[in-house]
């Protein structure tokens, strides 16, 4: 016969199992403390004029530790574009692990470094569901695979923030794309922009980044970008520092390769060696299906039934 204390102990174990199953399972994690370049496929727009430095010691370069870094971790991924050729330049780095799940989340810390005196014409971009071979283009025209969000660090564009979904995931009846399916960026008046617009001068972005080198932009500071994908509800959400920024819909699914990137959309070269973008603490977590937690919960009930029958 089970004693009362043993029953309670078993129930505690089962309850802990439910909590454990309800937590997300991490499928990709990279703190860039070591050279992880073998885990990525690097794609360029055909005019390569930039660098990708893995395990770059950014603390030694005078940049504070990223907000989600473990103590003593100082490595990051440093990207540059259009270093000297005076030509537009776009880089997309796809993680080689494909993500396939009903629901998952991507998190990454971002620092966009630039000289306040000269600024930059560069966009960082982070994506999901990429095909591993098509670079993400921010302008002329915006294009790529899957979905991504792009952003400037210095507020130097009329559209400092924008998001993209490819043709396979665009809605034919969307007010911004009807009557034909379109793979271009949605107008910043589209409902998915949540009334925030796309310019750093907007009230939302001014409140989000009040202390950057340029107010309303994540320049010369750390920000944590999160992308939530729900392939069941067909919804994608983009957040900076836990503040919901954009939220849109799609058809099909957004499974595939996640990506980090940098693009210079103009031909001008700043000539400053301190114009670059850092990524750190890339993490992709799959949200478990409810059935898993339900099965564990049934285990708790089974223990109770055994106790009552005895």
Tell me what pLDDT residue 88 has.
80
DSSP letters, 93-121, are: EEEEEEE--SEEEEEEEEEEE--TTT---
DSSP letters, 6-18, are: HHHHHHHHHHHHH
Tell me what pLDDT residue 89 has.
85
SS3 letters for the chain? Answer: CCCHHHHHHHHHHHHHHHHHHHCCEEEEEECCCCCCHHHEEEEECCCCCCCEEEEEECCCCCCCCCCCCCCCCCEEEEECCCCCCCCCEEEEEEEEEEECCCEEEEEEEEEEECCCCCCCCEEEEEEEEECCCCCCECCCCCECCCEEEEEECCCCCCCCEEEEECHHHCCCCCCCCCCCCCCCCCCCCCHHHCCCCCCCCCHHHHHHCCCCCCCCCCECCEEEEEEEEECCCCEEEEEECCEEEEEEECCCCCCEEEEEEEEECCCCCCCCCCCEEEEEEEEEEECCCHHHHHHHHHHHHHHHHHHHHC
Tell me what pLDDT residue 272 has.
61
Tell me what pLDDT residue 111 has.
97
Q: For residues 139 and 184, what is the distance between their CA atoms, to the nearest angstrom?
A: 9
Tell me what pLDDT residue 84 has.
81
Q: For residues 89 and 189, what is the distance between their CA atoms, to the nearest angstrom?
A: 28
Identify the three-state secondary structure at position 162.
Answer: strand
| Paired residues of 279 in beta bridges | 77, 110
First-to-last C-alpha distance (Å) of the chain:
6
Maximum Cα interatomic distance, the chain, rounded to a whole number of Å? 81
Residue listed under structure tokens 């997300």: 24
Tell me what pLDDT residue 308 has.
43
184 by Cβ neighbours in 10 Å (0-12 / 13-18 / 19+) ranks as middle
In whole angstroms, how far apart are CA 1 and each of 4, 144, 286? Answer: 9, 64, 41
Tell me what pLDDT residue 24 has.
74
CB atoms within 10 A of CB 290: 11
Q: Which two tokens stand for residue 117?
A: 């005196």
Give the residue ranges of the chain where pLDDT is below 50.
Answer: 1-2, 6-21, 178-183, 293-298, 300-310
In whole angstroms, how far apart are CA 263 and each of 39, 86, 121, 130, 288? Answer: 21, 13, 8, 16, 34
Q: For residues 68 and 203, what is the distance between their CA atoms, to the nearest angstrom?
A: 27
């Amino acid at each position: 016969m089970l004693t009362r204390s043993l029953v309670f102990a078993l129930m505690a174990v089962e309850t802990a199992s439910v909590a454990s199953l309800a937590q997300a399972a991490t499928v990709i994690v990279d703190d860039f403390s070591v050279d992880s370049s073998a885990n990525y496929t690097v794609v360029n727009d055909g005019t390569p004029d930039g660098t990708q430095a893995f395990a770059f010691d950014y603390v030694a370069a005078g940049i504070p530790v990223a907000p989600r870094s473990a103590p003593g971790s100082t490595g990051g991924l440093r990207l540059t574009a259009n270093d000297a050729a005076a030509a537009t330049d776009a880089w997309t780095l796809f993680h080689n692990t494909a993500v396939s799940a009903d629901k998952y989340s991507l998190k990454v810390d971002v620092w966009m470094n630039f000289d306040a005196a000269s600024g930059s014409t560069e966009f960082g971009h982070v994506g999901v569901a990429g095909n591993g071979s098509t670079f993400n283009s921010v302008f002329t025209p915006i294009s790529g695979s899957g979905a991504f969000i792009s952003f400037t660090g210095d507020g130097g564009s009329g559209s400092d923030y924008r998001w993209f979904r490819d043709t396979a995931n665009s809605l034919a009846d969307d007010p911004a794309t009807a009557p034909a399916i379109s793979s271009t960026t949605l107008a910043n008046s589209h409902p998915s922009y949540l009334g925030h617009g796309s310019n750093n001068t907007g009230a939302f972005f001014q409140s989000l980044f009040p202390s950057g080198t340029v107010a309303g932009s994540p320049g010369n500071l750390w920000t944590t970008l999160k992308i939530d994908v729900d392939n069941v509800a067909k919804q994608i959400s983009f957040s900076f520092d836990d503040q919901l920024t954009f939220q849109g819909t799609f058809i099909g699914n957004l499974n595939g390769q996640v990506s980090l990137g940098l693009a210079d959309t103009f031909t001008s070269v700043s000539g400053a060696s301190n114009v670059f973008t850092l990524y750190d603490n890339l993490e992709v977590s799959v949200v478990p299906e409810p059935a898993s937690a339900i099965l564990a919960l049934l285990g708790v009930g089974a223990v109770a039934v055994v106790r009552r029958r005895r």
